[in-house]
A and B are shown apart, each in its own frame.
Chain A
Amino acid sequence: MRYNILIGGEAGQGPNILTQIIGDALIKSGNYAFYSRDYQSLIRGGHNFNVLTFSDEPVYSNDSKVDILVCLDSKTEELHKKELKTGGILMKDSKENMYYAGRIFKLLCLDFKILEESLKKLDKNFNENIVNAKKGYEEETKNLCKIPISKKNTYFINGNTGICNGALNSDINIYYAYPMTPATPILSELATVDGVKVIELENEIAVINAGLGSSALGKNVMVGTSGGGFDLMTEALSMAGVAEIPIVVYLSQRPGPGTGVATYTSQGDLNMALNFGHGQFPRTVAAPGDPKEAQEITNEAFYLSQKFKIPSIVLGDKHLAESYYTLDEESSIIKIENTTPFIRYNSYEKDSFGSATEDAQIIKANVEKRLKKYKEIKKELEKLPRFSVYGEPNSKNLIVSWGSTKGAIIDAIKDLDVEFLHIKYLEPFSDGIKENLLKKNLILVENSPTGQLAGIISKNTGLFIEDKNKILRYDGRPFFADELKKEIEKRLI
């Protein structure tokens, strides 16, 4: 059983809260749910929609066709009617989001008490909402009561919350940022936590330099941004490399180049994350595939940046950041020990006193110290999960991907003869990956126009992925499981 509900309307009509309430109730009654958000860069009006997918088995993505279409406005019907499956349910004729909550609760045999509790928690407009919800609940006549009712300890979170949890698990002291979609929600989320200083400065250049100033004094610091803001940070990140000041950077991708498409998704910044900054210096780059990995990888970024005094990049994207996933496992936590001394830091090559130097021998020794770190980091990483393997281990076919494509791939390959290798650490690249790729029909799935991971695999393993085996999406939208399945099937041997 796998259902998709599309809920659309104008910004301000509350499609998000409606989706959230239904998703929460589904999870509370023992199901798995996933929803993604598609919204425009505007505050009121326009067209926004969410797709909520749920099942009695784990779900990590949406499909291109939906079973239920909820129209808070007429535009939703106009734009999405073609996505409604034959025999699917069309809900329209009201502009009140909670009216539809009532109908869907009835339709899916969800407990109305859960809805009432959710509306109470919302606080705002309770009286109006409950009337609308009751009206909807009474008016709905159909039912799809195939939903099992059981209790599991699950929670429903998005990637950004995963990043925040990872930072909190690492005892973050200060978060600096300049607002930029899709990283902005980290600001508001951490701002509610006691003991964490959340500071917005005049631009990303100030953000990263202030971050390094605080980090040099022994604080656990993270900064967050998207591609454009990251571009502005790279000079200072290069300084962090030479000065050996730890810093964690959350880089949440959206489509570029330029301002690109502000509220949509992309994986186009992988090469940038691996190659930022002038000069050569070690860094780690890791990309979570779901909110649980976001928690763990953010925590590991604090650990690695502190241990090796390097920039550690957590590479996410809009799809991961703002989609909600059902998690049923707690993440593991590494205790962070801040070992950064209060000394003389320098953006120049420095002598043992921390002063600028032009001495050839010292320069050479400094460069070699940094080179040695590459090896030490690689060795340390052997203790951490650098990649995961799913699917059929004996298959001749192997899909490779990184980051947020993980969910759609796992959902798509359920009945296929294919193995799936998901790479978490892009830098350093694990030596263990190559043996998994040998003698396989390699297929790449990536939310980018060129499939950047293919180049990275070639560089590190000498193996090539043929262009015809690259499944790429670059329209700002995430992969849908049903469509992806068809694309994968075409490439299986």
Chain B
Amino acid sequence: MPANLNSPTKAKQEVSHLSLLNTNTKPTWCPGCWNFQILAGVKNFLTKKIKNEEDKKNYAMVTGIGCHAKIFDYINLNGINSLHGRTLPTALGMKVAKPKLNVIAFSGDGDAYAEGMEHLIHAARYNSDIKYLVHNNQVFALTVGQPTPVTEEGFKDKTNPKGVKVPPINPIKLMLSAGATFVARVYADAKQIEDVLEEAFKHKGFAFIEIIQPCIIFHPDANYKKYTYMLKEKKHNDKSFEAAMKRAQEFDYNTLHRKTKIPLGIFYREKREVFEENIK
């Protein structure tokens, strides 16, 4: 914008508003962790929405416990760094208290699919206007590498020396079945996260966004990126439940072979009444 270049005052404001979301806490994620991409994507998105302290009051975040939750300390937003698995009911309580507040909730795959599974299914059903990001690294990383409900069969760690014997769940299928009104999957890439948040905030209701975020220490990238493709490039109809289910089944979180495809983008969206607006 040329106008900005000619107006030093405006440029100064721009700089100060970028720092609105910064904190003084030095990140303790491993060097090279994909969480840095998620942090960048979320901050890029928020920077577009939050221009001053007043704007900031319209946003809040909730986190669970695990590597993902460290993001709470790296973004200067109000909210609650809650308990392991309890992100969603906490966020629900915030939406019930202030329906107009924009609430972004973060979970890891342990939070979302193990400790907090019951809340996840009901969150999809309630359709509270929460934007929910699951950092799925297919492992309990902060407790040094045990399998979660989305870890592939055969995965070995010190607690499972013979390898995992049960198949993983498919969270995309699960969320579609549970009635989630916005279901998406992205890769831990700042631009993809920024874009999906833009779409998620256009959607009024529960937005389930899974982020494939390989753990560089305990669950290194199985080269997933090679198998991914963007749904919007394949003319996927995100209004069709059947089409969404079909695409969801293309990747089972378990096996990778020549024909594996990992669709990314928005699987499904529909309009439905929002929980907090539907109580007396």
Residue A464 is within 8 A (CB to CB) of chain B in the complex: no
Contact with A along B226-268 (1 / 0, CB 8 A): 0000000000000000000000000000000000000000000
Stretch at the interface among B9-17, B87-95, B133-141: B87-95
Given the contacts A205-B86, A347-B65, A353-B24, A174 and B97 also touching, CB distance less than 8 Å: yes
Stretch at the interface among B76-84, B169-177, B205-213: B76-84
What bracket does the count of chain B residues touching chain A fall in? 20 to 34
The CA-CA distance from A205 to B57 in the complex, in Å, is 28
The CA-CA distance from A176 to B89 in the complex, in Å, is 11
Contact A355 B62 (CB under 8 A): no
Contact B82 A355 (CB under 8 A): no
Residue A343 is within 8 A (CB to CB) of chain B in the complex: yes
The CA-CA distance from A202 to B60 in the complex, in Å, is 24
Residues on A with beta carbons closer than 8 Å to the beta carbon of B73: 355-356
Contact A345 B80 (CB under 8 A): yes
Residue B98 is within 8 A (CB to CB) of chain A in the complex: yes
In the complex, the 3 A-B pairs of residues with the closest C-beta atoms, listed nearest first = A213-B93, A210-B93, A209-B89
Contact A201 B122 (CB under 8 A): yes
Q: Give the residue among A209, A221, A342, A344 with the most B Cβ atoms within 10 A.
A: A209
* Consensus secondary structure, chain A interface: mixed
Q: Which residue of A lies closest to B119 (CB)?
A: A206
Interface contacts beyond A197-B279, A236-B86, A355-B23: sample of 15 additional A-B pairs, CB < 8 Å, sorted by A: A174-B97, A176-B93, A198-B280, A209-B93, A211-B93, A213-B62, A213-B92, A215-B97, A216-B94, A236-B83, A239-B82, A342-B60, A345-B79, A346-B80, A347-B65
Contact with B along A214-237 (1 / 0, CB 8 A): 111111010000000000000110
Contact with B along A185-216 (1 / 0, CB 8 A): 00000010010011101110111011111111
Q: Which residue of A lies closest to B77 (CB)?
A: A344
The CA-CA distance from A210 to B77 in the complex, in Å, is 19
Pick the residue among A211, A215, A239, A353 that contacts B23 (CB under 8 A): A353
Contact B72 A235 (CB under 8 A): no
Q: B residues within 8 Å of A by Cβ?
A: 23-25, 57, 60, 62, 65, 70, 72-73, 77-83, 86, 88-94, 96-98, 101, 118-119, 122, 279-280
User: How many inter-chain contacts with C-beta < 8 Å in the A-B complex?
Assistant: 114
Contact B78 A344 (CB under 8 A): yes
Residues on A with beta carbons closer than 8 Å to the beta carbon of B83: 209, 235-236, 239, 347
Contact B280 A206 (CB under 8 A): no
Contact with B along A117-135 (1 / 0, CB 8 A): 0000000000000000000
Pick the residue among A206, A235, A347, A348 that contacts B89 (CB under 8 A): A206
Q: List 26 A-B contacts (CB under 8 A).
A: A174-B96, A174-B97, A205-B89, A205-B118, A206-B118, A206-B119, A207-B89, A209-B82, A211-B93, A212-B80, A212-B82, A213-B82, A216-B94, A217-B93, A217-B97, A219-B97, A236-B83, A239-B83, A342-B60, A344-B78, A345-B79, A346-B80, A353-B25, A355-B23, A355-B73, A356-B73
> Taking the nearest CB of chain A, how far is it from the CB of B153, in angstroms?
29
Residues on B with beta carbons closer than 8 Å to the beta carbon of A344: 72, 77-81
Residues on A with beta carbons closer than 8 Å to the beta carbon of B25: 353, 355
The CA-CA distance from A342 to B280 in the complex, in Å, is 24
The CA-CA distance from A197 to B92 in the complex, in Å, is 13
Q: Which residue of A lies closest to B91 (CB)?
A: A213
The CA-CA distance from A176 to B90 in the complex, in Å, is 12
Pick the residue among B77, B81, B91, B93 that contacts A346 (CB under 8 A): B81
Contact B72 A346 (CB under 8 A): yes
Given the contacts A199-B96, A235-B83, A353-B24, A210 and B90 also touching, CB distance less than 8 Å: yes
Q: Which residue of B lies closest to A207 (CB)?
A: B89
Q: Which residue of B lies closest to A348 (CB)?
A: B81
Residues on A with beta carbons closer than 8 Å to the beta carbon of B122: 201-202, 206
Residue A286 is within 8 A (CB to CB) of chain B in the complex: no
Contact B89 A197 (CB under 8 A): no
The CA-CA distance from A87 to B210 in the complex, in Å, is 76
* Interface members, chain A 154-186 (any B CB < 8 Å): 173-174, 176
Residues on A with beta carbons closer than 8 Å to the beta carbon of B91: 213
Given the contacts A174-B97, A214-B93, A209 and B86 also touching, CB distance less than 8 Å: yes
Given the contacts A209-B90, A345-B79, A214 and B23 also touching, CB distance less than 8 Å: no
* Consensus secondary structure, chain B interface: mixed
The CA-CA distance from A235 to B84 in the complex, in Å, is 10
Contact with B along A278-297 (1 / 0, CB 8 A): 00000000000000000000
Residues on A with beta carbons closer than 8 Å to the beta carbon of B80: 212-213, 216, 243, 344-347
Pick the residue among A173, A217, A356 that contacts B101 (CB under 8 A): A217
Q: Give the residue among A194, A199, A217, A243 with the most B Cβ atoms within 10 A.
A: A217
Q: Give the residue among A201, A236, A347 with the most B Cβ atoms within 10 A.
A: A347
Pick the residue among A194, A212, A342 that contacts B93 (CB under 8 A): A212
Given the contacts A197-B280, A203-B118, A347-B82, A213 and B89 also touching, CB distance less than 8 Å: yes
Contact B280 A343 (CB under 8 A): no
Residues on B with beta carbons closer than 8 Å to the beta carbon of A346: 72, 80-81
Contact A218 B97 (CB under 8 A): yes
Contact A206 B98 (CB under 8 A): no
Given the contacts A209-B82, A210-B89, A347-B81, A199 and B98 also touching, CB distance less than 8 Å: no
The CA-CA distance from A205 to B88 in the complex, in Å, is 11
Q: Which residue of B lies closest to A218 (CB)?
A: B97
Residues on B with beta carbons closer than 8 Å to the beta carbon of A235: 83
Residues on A with beta carbons closer than 8 Å to the beta carbon of B79: 344-345
The CA-CA distance from A356 to B80 in the complex, in Å, is 11
> Taking the nearest CB of chain A, how far is it from the CB of B195, in angstroms?
27
Q: Which residue of B lies closest to A176 (CB)?
A: B93
The CA-CA distance from A394 to B92 in the complex, in Å, is 56
The CA-CA distance from A353 to B77 in the complex, in Å, is 10
Q: Which residue of B lies closest to A219 (CB)?
A: B97
The CA-CA distance from A343 to B279 in the complex, in Å, is 26
Contact A355 B86 (CB under 8 A): no
Residues on B with beta carbons closer than 8 Å to the beta carbon of A236: 83, 86
Residues on B with beta carbons closer than 8 Å to the beta carbon of A221: 93
> Taking the nearest CB of chain B, how far is it from the CB of A171, in angstroms?
14
The CA-CA distance from A387 to B89 in the complex, in Å, is 37
Residues on B with beta carbons closer than 8 Å to the beta carbon of A353: 23-25
> Taking the nearest CB of chain B, how far is it from the CB of A211, in angstroms?
6
